[in-house]
Structure 1
Amino acid sequence: MQSKELNKDSNLRVLKEIAELLNEGTEISPLLKKVLQKLLEGTGVTTGWIFFIDHDGRHTVVSTENLPEALEKNNCNPLKKGSCWCIEWFKNGTLTKATNIIECRRLEKAMRNKEETNGIAFHATIPLQSGNEQFGLLNVSAPEKREFTANELALLESIALQIGSAIKRIRLTKKEQEIALIDERNRLARDLHDSVNQLLFSLTLTARGGAEMTEEESTKNTFKHIQTLAQDALTEMRALIWQLRPSGLEKGLIQAIKAYGEMLGLSVKTNLCGVLSLPAQVEESLWRISQEALNNCKRHSGQNDVEIAINVGKCKVEMTIVDHGIGFLYDKGKALPSLGIESMQERAEALNGIFTLESEPGKGTKIYTKLPY
């Protein structure tokens, strides 16, 4: 009886410590790593990993702790590739509670190849959910452990429910923050349009009127210079307003890119392969990357023709932006040449994507972006 009471107290302590972690967390990936560490410290399990599974059934490894060499090799590639019982059961809707997995496919394969599994052959799998919404799986294991008891599964299920609630809370919070950011961008865009933009437009008209009213050549040239500067500033201001609130994005990414290029005075040729139906975050990143590329073309390429190709695959989208302008000398082994190009790379890498830049003097510039979704 005393042993059972001690075990009960230990379980309550683990639940309490994990609940405190989840309550404080604001970023999902580092939070899940801390939860796995706490789970391994407070229970008998020695290994854990978490899958997120999207609506199309694609799974992503979001956190691991103390994996055996057979699963950890090549940046956890054995976990990332292929399917297994737990993922298949999750996808067909039969995995609704904590369950023992007998003979894990991935571990079976590793043992057949005589790879190091640290004595692990079986694991428990627990769905991560909040209400009717499911996010993925929590998998845990220990050496030589063939089966988890009913009490152990109940504890793991309680922890998984806490994790699911925390994931939903964090995602809802981020969604609210995104909406607030969009609202603020729209407000700034309206303010700039109604104030600075109108003042610059008035300055352009005033300078043109001044140039027409005077006969003195030097004064006329001064007014013309002021008019040119004001027009350049007006173009920059309109581009800034577009960046804050992209007009036309609601009509599709291609339309928005072409309209933005026209606003800059560029001739944008687009080519789309596949159906352009992307998650909002992916579309936003492609839009911002193309904006910066078009700005750079306008300022630095020395010509006005740009080619943009977008290729949409089953789980990835590729965008290539090419101009045939003056180009520049770029060494791939060194830092990127500007903050704008760095921001493009950061946007791509934030979504686990790829960004590359190619340029040579006299041969133009090519920007390539690939994003998973």
Structure 2
Amino acid sequence: MTDADLRLRELETLHELAHTIANSLEPRETLEQTLKVLIDTGWFSCGEAFLKLEGMLETVAVGLCGYQNIEACQVRPKLLRDAERVMTGNKLTQVNHWQLIPVDNMAVIALSGGNASSPFFEALIDIIRAALKRARLHWRLSEKEIQRSKLLQALLRAQEEERGRISRDLHDQVGQALTGILLGLDAAINHPEDANLAQLKELASITLGDVRRIALDLRPSVLDALGLEAALKRYTREITERYNIQIEILVSVPKRLNPDEETVLYRVAQEALTNIVRHAKAKQASIVLTTTSKWVQLVIEDNGIGFKLEELLAAERIGLTGMRERVELFNGNLSIESSPGKGTSVHARLPLRT
């Protein structure tokens, strides 16, 4: 076979390989098909493909054609160590009868029982690299879509739970209070001389406060009108008045944030402050809201009793799941630091959107 015939055959093989793996969207399948083409076309008689999975190389495909290079195939179990070394160096390497071909930091293909030119191997690497990158990108997009779907479902569950809580508040507090007012008014109509209008007025005032609190929990109008800083100041002022917890607020944000981000951060602060009221036994707390060129960060800290973090997470007493799901839905992250006697710190970070 002349050099021209050999080059033509190499091009035909590369074309067939590119066509075969063009639609492969799974890295393992890409490497399996690569071995099959290279062995079926007679270029090599023995091959093995290694793929980097969770930081370690693993065999994902083995190809044999008859017993043409039985000596090479007998040493195949030793290849993994050589493949790991070759991947680190990222250079085409010959080990005994094997050609070890690293594909960036993604995979290694080992071939034996044949020979090909350096340009063939270089083109082979380019084709496999492109296919693996495409497959991994597809996998990441699929994983993100699955994760996004899970987060949306979790958010819907959280919304339903919130609606249930509000419904109970309306029934247990507002509903019962209004019933008491109606009974008192009926008594006043029938027996004016015995009416305790001052008591009814006080009950109506308390009920009005409960209605305003529930409305504030749903969505404070000040958040839409004046932004996150104003909404946080109003909410913390109410907590201070009702529970005598001193809350310091520091906001260093040059302009209003994206409305969706303001909502997410307000809900995180709301849940964190609710936890402080219910569980922390704190006398002081702080809220710090800052931005960088890429991120907006919210930190809520208290000087309360603190918790063992592992027990805190296991008990799900603090609505961590709901806070985290809201933040992760916007590609952010949330963390909690706490220990007995040292208070609790909640950190939420979101990519800055315009």
Normalised to the residue count of structure 2, the TM-score between the two structures is: 0.49
Larger radius of gyration: 2
If asked which structure has higher relative contact order (CA below 8 Å, sep 6+), I would say 2
Normalised to the residue count of structure 1, the TM-score between the two structures is: 0.47
